[in-house]
Amino acid sequence: MLAAATTGILALIVGSIPMQVYAAPEAGEHAHLFLRICELINLAKLPPPADLSTEAAKTSYLSIVKLNNSVASESWRQVIKQYTIPETPGGAPKGTAASTTKPDPRETYWKETAKEVSDDQTKKAILESAGLDKATERQLTQYRRLLRPIAEQAFQAMKAAQQTVAESAQADEAGKARTALKIAAYGRKDFTADTATDDDCKGAAKAGSSRTLLCGKPNTDAKAVTLAQILLCICGRDNNDNNNVCENNQHATALDIGSAPKTILKDLLSKCPKPAEQKPPTAQDVTRKLDALLGLTKMSAKDIYIGTFTTN
């Protein structure tokens, strides 16, 4: 079953990772990235799910909170530490004054994860699993910035999922899940390859008016906010080479965001392998395919990126 949290996480991750991709890879060097991105894009083409799982939504949210706890700043770690202190009969942690303010609805989940990530060994394992065990403080700061909106979106999606199930509105939630997948893939729910426009290729607020702006450069976040735009960055030919970096028969024209980029986008989308099965995606499908793509991101001394660079 496809949890709304998972689709929300997918949409936000696409728009939050600094995607920085430079040309000059060898022929076929980005073929594996092309296939991974196509797998995620194809989720938006599958039949909509008929129901949803609140437990899967909660699991998705808690996994992000655990990672957030593991990369937390010292000040937030002190807050988390309070949640591991045994509570007094009155309900407040031992040694703390009872608060008269309305509790944050997220506290229940903060407490749950704080107890699970209370020792250095567990934190280390979580960081290793995320590929962050050797990250610098600057890189961890970048990840904290990335995780904040993702965690909040996952929380809101989880609450929405719980509300939806409580009201037995699974059909409506399925539509929301399908919409989330389409927006993550293309940026709009009414997108079709035939109706693709140049604006669909220009990133957040149409600010990616050049390849460098869309795809990023060192110390500068990319403007790409959809999987389709990332596909352009990963696969689009550069003026400096003639390599088919993603697909043997991809469009021969160099990517120029100012000159009909929709032509190249349509070509790349048409070359994505079709899904083997036409059945509704599950939460596990989304998570597995997303993890496969995120596992291909890299860290340099300065940035987080995906793809091949000429320089860092």
Alpha-carbon gap, residue 191 to 199, rounded angstroms: 12
> Tokens 């070359």 — which residue?
271
pLDDT at residue 250, as a whole number: 92
240 lies in some domain: yes
Give kind and range of the element (H or E) at residue 304.
strand 304-305
pLDDT at residue 261, as a whole number: 94
Alpha-carbon gap, residue 270 to 247, rounded angstroms: 11
pLDDT at residue 130, as a whole number: 75
Range of the domain at 200: 4-88+105-305
Show the tokens assigned to 77.
Answer: 């770690």
Alpha-carbon gap, residue 133 to 124, rounded angstroms: 7
22 lies in some domain: yes
100 lies in some domain: no
294 lies in some domain: yes
Counting the structural domains of the chain, the total is: 1
20 lies in some domain: yes
Region of residue 307 (phi > 0: left; psi between -120 and 50: alpha; otherwise: beta) = left
**pLDDT tens by residue, the chain, 312 residues:** 444 444 444 444 444 444 444 445 677 788 888 998 998 888 888 776 554 466 677 777 777 777 777 777 667 666 666 666 666 555 555 555 455 566 777 888 777 777 777 777 888 888 787 777 787 888 777 777 767 767 776 777 777 767 766 655 555 556 677 787 888 889 888 898 888 999 999 988 888 888 888 887 777 777 888 889 989 988 888 777 678 889 889 988 888 999 999 999 999 999 999 887 777 777 777 777 777 777 777 766 666 667 765 543
pLDDT at residue 271, as a whole number: 93
251 lies in some domain: yes
Q: What pTM does this model have?
A: 0.58
What distances in angstroms separate CA 15 from CA 95, 165, 192, 221, 224, one per listed residue? Answer: 42, 28, 20, 10, 7
Phi, psi of 99 (to 5 degrees): -95, 140
pLDDT at residue 5, as a whole number: 41
pLDDT at residue 184, as a whole number: 83
